[in-house]
Amino acid sequence: MAQQPPSITTETVLDKQQTTSLNTIQTTGKSIRYKDEYKKLNNMLHSVNRIILIVKERYIHVQRQSQYKLNNSPKQNPSCEHPKIPMLICGLGNPGEKYAHTRHNIGFAVIDILADRHNVHYWKNEAGCQVSTINITNANGQSKKIILAKPWDFMNTSGGPLCKLARAHNITADQILVVHDEIDLEDGRIRFRTGGGLNAHNGLRSIADKLGTRDFMRLQCGISRPPGRMAVANYVLKELKGVSLTNFYIEAEAAADKVEELIHL
Q: Which residues are catalytic?
A: 104
Phi, psi of 222 (to 5 degrees): -65, 135
Rounded to a whole number of angstroms, the CA Rg of the chain reads: 33
* Amino acid (1-letter code) at residue 125: N
Contact 193, 86 (CB under 8 A): no
C-alpha closest to that of 104 among 252, 243, 208, 229: 252
Q: Which of 99, 251, 253 shows the shortest CA–CA distance to 186?
A: 251
Neighbours of 236 (CB within 10 A): 20
Could you tell me if 181 and 251 are in contact, meaning their C-beta atoms sit under 8 angstroms apart?
no
